[in-house]
């Protein structure tokens, strides 16, 4: 297997979903600057990430705020990424196992990747978690397990920084190319349309059933060629349905 060493965090973006606190956003910009993580993406922020409160906490991380990208949806925030890790503070009814930072963060190295954090009060929804291939949790004392958002980001970017600066062992990741997350999203939308058309899904239950399909394919870490094969199956199925309709009309 071909492996290579990650020497920077330039391809990793921190994604904050609907952050409500400008002080938190500023603190996150500061710790990102401390640890050499440059890309910040805000999904539908509920605060002013460029205001005085955010800049006060960012200190010398103001340039992170200046270059932060604001988008309206999580899929938009993940465009260009091949790997995504979503953070959660509790176990969910999902098939993705919860992994500690040291176990899962190496998967983000050396490919365009995202580390996703949820809202301060409620975290990420189950649907949002299905946009990632892995789920991360930070082990804490049971007496008070909930971390502040900026603290959680700080723990993760510190662990990432340690991965690329370690001198005692070489950090390697597989060079196998995986499909981009927007390509996967296109497949999921196509699959849902087809399953609705053939009656496998029903509109009132489609969202819950599609979450399970997302989990299955996210675990597989599909390559572009494998994803193209799956899209080809859907296109051929559509062709067969259209031609069957023509034959039946005749």
Positive or negative torsion for Cα 222, 223, 224, 230: negative
Q: Which residues, in sequence order, are bridge partners of residue 14?
A: 40, 115
CATH number of residue 244's parent domain: 1.10.8.590
| For residue 1, pLDDT beyond 50 | no
User: What is the mean pLDDT of the segment spanning 78-95?
Assistant: 83
Element holding 242 (H helix, E strand): helix 224-249
Element holding 113 (H helix, E strand): strand 113-117
Q: Are residues 161 and 196 in the same domain?
A: no
Q: Are residues 104 and 196 in the same domain?
A: no
CATH number of residue 144's parent domain: 3.40.1280.10
Q: Are residues 45 and 118 in the same domain?
A: yes
How far is residue 214's CA from residue 187's CA, in Å, rounded to a whole number? 10
Least confident of 68-77, 84-93, 186-195: 84-93
| For residue 3, pLDDT beyond 50 | no
C-alpha gyration radius of the chain: 20
Instruction: Specify the higher pLDDT residue, 138 or 89.
Output: 138
How far is residue 10's CA from residue 21's CA, in Å, rounded to a whole number? 26
Instruction: Specify the higher pLDDT residue, 241 or 169.
Output: 241
Range of the domain at 212: 181-249
pLDDT value of position 5: 45
Q: Are residues 155 and 68 in the same domain?
A: yes
User: What is the mean pLDDT of the segment spanning 173-178?
Assistant: 64
Q: Are residues 170 and 185 in the same domain?
A: no
Q: Are residues 54 and 169 in the same domain?
A: yes
Q: Are residues 149 and 186 in the same domain?
A: no
- Number of domains observed in the structure of the chain: 2
Q: How confident is the model at residue 244 (pLDDT cuts 50, 70, 90)?
A: confident
Q: Are residues 23 and 89 in the same domain?
A: yes
Q: Are residues 72 and 144 in the same domain?
A: yes
Contact, 42 vs 69, CB < 8 A? yes
pLDDT tens digit sequence for 114-158:
999 999 999 999 999 999 999 999 998 888 888 899 999 999 999
| For residue 169, pLDDT beyond 50 | no
Looking at 144, 174, 204, the residue that finishes a domain is 174
What three-state secondary structure class fits 115? strand
Answering whether pTM is above 0.85, one says no
């Amino acid at each position: 297997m071909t492996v290579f060493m990650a020497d920077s965090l330039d391809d990793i973006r921190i994604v904050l979903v609907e952050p409500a606190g400008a002080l938190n956003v500023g603190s996150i910009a500061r710790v990102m600057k401390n640890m050499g993580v440059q890309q910040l993406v805000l999904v539908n922020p509920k605060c002013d990430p460029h205001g005085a409160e955010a800049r006060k906490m960012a200190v010398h991380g103001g340039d992170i705020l200046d270059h932060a990208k604001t988008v309206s949806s999580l899929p938009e925030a993940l465009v260009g990424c091949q790997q995504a890790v979503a953070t959660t503070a509790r176990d969910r009814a999902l098939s993705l196992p919860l992994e500690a930072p040291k176990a899962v963060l190496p998967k983000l190295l050396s490919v365009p990747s995202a580390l996703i954090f949820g809202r301060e009060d409620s975290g990420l929804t189950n649907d949002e978690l299905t946009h990632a291939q892995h789920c991360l949790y930070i082990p804490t004392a049971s007496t008070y397990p909930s971390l502040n958002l900026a603290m959680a980001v700080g723990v993760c970017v510190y662990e990432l920084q340690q991965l690329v600066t370690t001198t005692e062992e070489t950090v390697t990741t597989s060079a196998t190319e995986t499909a981009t997350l927007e390509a996967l999203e296109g497949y999921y939308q196509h699959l849902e349309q087809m399953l609705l058309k053939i009656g496998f899904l029903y509109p009132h239950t489609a969202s819950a059933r599609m979450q399970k399909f997302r989990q299955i394919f996210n675990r597989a870490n599909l390559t572009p060629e494998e994803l193209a094969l799956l899209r080809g199956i859907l296109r051929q199925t559509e062709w067969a349905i259209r031609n069957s309709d023509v034959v039946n009309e005749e």
